[in-house]
Copies of this chain bind each other. A is one copy, B any other.
């Protein structure tokens, strides 16, 4: 994997990551394909929108259909018919979410499947092996995030263990040239522990570095403070991946703070639930006010949905429980997110990102 830095304005930067399945431009938004499909979307639609990389979940694919089956299919790219880059997360976050169904030891995490209750042990080595079998272009270390808030002692134990697991992941992935491995900086919400984790993780010579364990309920100023504090500790020549973020405004702020990659379920999940992102904020399409609104979702948007369909039609589809509602909103939301990233890259290239950032937030105030 290669990372080229193509431009910078303040901390905001523009770059290109090249993987075994082609390249993607950064700052990059990575739609989430939890179970081997970006929910409600086809591969052709993702390509139409200009999506260059997607994220799938090793935890989910490990449980169903199983990594052996995906490998037998020729790997995840072939299984889901996606020829562009794929990133898989390790399952650390999903296992962390199984409150009460898991037990953490130095060896790994014992957990019960959310599907059938079966018991599994996931170790750092096994998490890497599963991701190798899936065959994504970028894979992630197996880690242990902490909740917000957590006390310092709990955070310290989890962080130091995560960092030891990162070493084990690194060791388990020595010979795999086609797959990049990213380290994940933990440390909860303690700036000192975050800095210690950053120092340990960045000595391990990963292909990229992620900030993990954020966007788990903490206030936004806390997230931004951690990013600002960690940025000087993250190597400039590697992509910086802020996991699980975020809203359009959060993406703008994280790009301004030097982050390059982002994944989030918001555009797809909120789309299925009736919420669409537009240039001035977001709309809940189920609201009665749109019942006879025959205008487009976003008058400023040029996507297929906005060119052909009205708010009234979309509202009708939601009220009627039609699959097309989820489809149209997901398509529009991803189009909006991709357009936002494209615009940020262009503004950085033109040296006008700071001005864009101000205007973006000013626009958002109308509705948010």
Chain A residues 304 to 338 lying within 8 A of chain B, measured CB to CB, are: 304, 308-310, 312-313, 316-317, 319-320, 322-324, 326-328
The distance in angstroms between the C-alpha atoms of A64 and B318, with both chains bound, is 11
A81 within 8 A of B: yes
**Contact present for B73 and A322 (CB under 8 Å):** no
Copies of the protein in its oligomer: 2
From the candidates B36, B80, B292, B324, name the one contacting A69 in the complex (CB within 8 A): B292
The distance from the CB of A192 to the nearest CB of chain B, in whole angstroms, is 41
A250 CB to nearest chain B CB (Å): 26
Q: Is residue A342 contacting chain B, with contact meaning CB distance below 8 A?
A: no
In whole angstroms, what is the CA distance A42 to B41 when docked? 12
What's the Cα separation between A101 and B281 when bound, in Å? Answer: 44
| Partner pick for A327 among B74, B310, B319, B323, CB 8 A cutoff | B323
User: Do residues B36 and A316 form an inter-chain contact, with CB atoms below 8 A?
Assistant: yes
A65 at the interface (CB under 8 A from B): yes
A154: chain B residues at CB < 8 Å are none
Contact pick for A35, options B44, B60, B291, B320, CB 8 Å: B320
B327 touches A65 (CB 8 A): no
| B36 & A313 in contact (Cβ 8 Å cutoff) | yes
Residue numbers in B under 8 Å from A40 (CB-CB): 323-324, 327
Given A36-B313, A81-B308, residue A326 in contact with residue B324 (CB < 8 A):
no
What 1/0 flags go to A39-76 for Cβ under 8 Å of B? Answer: 11111100000000000000010001100010011100
**Residue A223 is within 8 A (CB to CB) of chain B in the complex:** no
CA distance A44 to B309 in the complex (A): 12
B42 and A294 contacting across the interface, CB-CB below 8 Å: no
- Determine the residue in chain B with the shortest Cβ distance to A38: B324
The distance in angstroms between the C-alpha atoms of A309 and B319, with both chains bound, is 32
Chain B residues whose C-beta falls within 8 Å of the C-beta of A110 in the assembled complex: none
Q: Are B42 and A327 in contact (CB under 8 A)?
A: yes
Chain B residue contacts of A43, Cβ below 8 A: 308
A323 to chain B, nearest CB (A): 4
B323/A323 in contact, CB under 8 A: yes
* A113 interface contact, C-beta 8 A: no
Show 30 A/B contacts (Cβ-Cβ < 8 Å), sorted by A: A35-B316, A35-B317, A36-B317, A36-B320, A37-B317, A37-B320, A37-B322, A37-B324, A39-B322, A39-B323, A39-B324, A40-B323, A40-B327, A41-B324, A42-B304, A42-B328, A43-B308, A64-B316, A64-B319, A65-B312, A65-B319, A69-B291, A72-B292, A73-B294, A74-B294, A79-B316, A81-B308, A81-B313, A323-B326, A327-B327
Contact digits for A260-304, partner B, Cβ 8 Å, 1 yes 0 no: 000000000000000000000000000000011010000000001
Query: How far in angstroms is the closest Cβ of chain B from A76?
Result: 11
Question: CB distance A65 to B324 under 8 Å?
Answer: no
User: What's the Cα separation between A327 and B316 when bound, in Å?
Assistant: 20
Residue of B nearest to A325 (CB): B37
Q: Which residues of B contact A294 (CB under 8 A)?
A: 72-74
B292 near A80: Cβ-Cβ < 8 Å: no
A292-B69, A292-B72, A304-B44 known; A320 vs B80 contact (CB < 8 Å): no
The minimal Cβ–Cβ distance linking A41 to chain B, given in whole angstroms, is 7
Closest A-B pairs by Cβ, 5 of them: A81-B308, A40-B323, A35-B320, A37-B324, A65-B316
Closest to A319 in B: B64
The chain B residue with its CB closest to the CB of A68 is B292
